[in-house]
Amino acid sequence: MAYDIGKTELINLYSLETLKQFSTDFLLALGATDEEAAIVTDGLMTASLWWHPGQGQGLEKFFRFYRQIKNGGIVPNAPMQWVREGPSYALLDAAKGFGYVSAHRAMARAIEKAKVTGIAMVGVRHSNHFGIAGYHALHAAKHGLIGWSFTNAKAEMAPWGSAQVVLGTNPWGIAIPRKDTHAIVLDMALTMSGKGMMRWYMNEGKPMPDSWALTPDGAKTTDPAAAMEGPLLPIGEYKGYGLSLITDVLAGVMTGSLFGLKVFQDESHHDVGHVMLAIDPGAFMPREEVDARLEQLIAEVKGAPPIDPARPVILPGEVEFKRMAQREQDGVPLSRETVEGLRGLAEELKVAFPL
């Protein structure tokens, strides 16, 4: 089965099981341990089920893994170490390991601690791109806690009033567990949009909103091509700039990773930092009461009449969980370009290629 999304890419659908097996085999061939392969595969599968192929968070990540493992930027079976620990905090040195793995271990530790103390913060230094922020937040929600993940990232945002990039999109994931149904999952960059989305608009020949990015000399524009080398604009103007700066303080400055202009610049040494928060929603009252009160708030939110009757109000993450259910049934989309690239890698690594 194939379908066309705009002019950009031709897409085929593949079963989740097939992709899982391929991902696991591929990661093992790259030197990942069984545990690492399982964690990274789970993250990539979630990204593949939630996000669009053009967003580069699914199996497209393998191209980067391959390059970075070759150039030493990612170390499989990395000797990660816990370097600091207190009642409600800990710091993991990721030793250049997979970002999915270090962030997963950090959130697991935050969950353990928050169950005892009410809230915990676990930092990660010397890590790599951790995938989608919402995935790590959801990890906490699956254990009944609120999760909040922060990461720094390559400079793509300018301080407010400048056009020179210094700060990253510094994505956040926040997840609130619900009883008997999917969590609320807010997965967001601190910019209005990203270069990938702008490229899609450019390829489609569409104008973009002028709140997305500036030209390199700081002018507003609706032409994605004119802003491709310019800074992305933060959410809420100076507010998002402030949030991005604060995120880099938490994830970069405090943890001991690179930050600002230096993080994520040299592919053999991205040195990304993360922070994971876990919060016990039942710290202040019996959990059943919190759960009931949450459903009451959600009913108020979802009861708000939509402006367009065809588009009812949805919760953060709701689109993604619907997409996930559909793709689990119909298959996961991968662009032909990605599949061809993966075929090449599979041949090189002598991994079975079932796509």
- List the interface residues with a second copy, window 221-250 (CB under 8 A): 235-243, 245-246, 248-250
- Pairing relation of β-strands 332-335 and 9-14? antiparallel
User: Of the listed pieces 35-43, 61-69, 199-207, 308-316, which binds a second copy according to CB under 8 A?
Assistant: 308-316
Q: How many angstroms separate the CA atoms of 247 and 250, rounded?
A: 5
10 contact partners, CB below 8 Å, separation of at least 6:
2, 4, 335, 336
Residue 51 touching a second copy (CB under 8 A): no
Q: Does 281 bind a second copy (CB under 8 A)?
A: yes
Amino acid identity at 260: G
For residues 122 and 112, give the distance between their C-alpha atoms in angstroms, rounded to a whole number. 11
Give the binding range for a second copy (CB under 8 A) out of 1-9, 52-60, 213-221, 331-339.
213-221
Report H helices in 51-92: 61-70
Length of the chain (residues):
355
Tell whether residue 304 is a contact of a second copy (CB under 8 A).
Answer: yes
In the bound state with a second copy, the residue whose beta carbon lies nearer, of 295 and 337, is 295
- Asked if 259 touches a second copy (CB under 8 A), the answer is yes
State which residue, 223 or 291, has the beta carbon closest to a second copy.
291
Using rule CB under 8 A, residue 313 touches a second copy = yes
- Minimum distance from residue 160 beta carbon to a second copy (Å): 7
- Of 14-22, 24-32, 110-118, 347-355, which part binds a second copy (CB under 8 A)? 110-118
- Which residue among 84, 199, 269, 323 contacts a second copy (CB under 8 A)? 84
Could you say which of 164, 265, 268, 326 contacts a second copy (CB under 8 A)? 164
Q: Which of 192, 213, 232, 351 binds a second copy (CB under 8 A)?
A: 192
Asked if residue 186 binds a second copy (CB under 8 A), the reply is: yes
Counting beta carbons within 10 angstroms of the beta carbon of residue 135, is it exposed (0 to 12), middle (13 to 18) or buried (19 or more)? buried
Residues 57 and 333: their CA atoms lie apart, in Å, by 12
Residue 323 burial class via C-beta count within 10 angstroms: exposed 0-12, middle 13-18, buried 19 and up: middle
Decide if residue 180 touches a second copy (CB under 8 A): no
* Selected range binding a second copy among 18-26, 299-307, 325-333, 336-344, rule: CB under 8 A: 299-307
Nearer to a second copy, 19 or 279 (CB): 279
Q: How far is CA 335 from CA 3, 54, 156, 224, 285, in A?
A: 10, 8, 26, 23, 48
Helix 336-349 with 16-29: angle, nearest 10 deg: 40
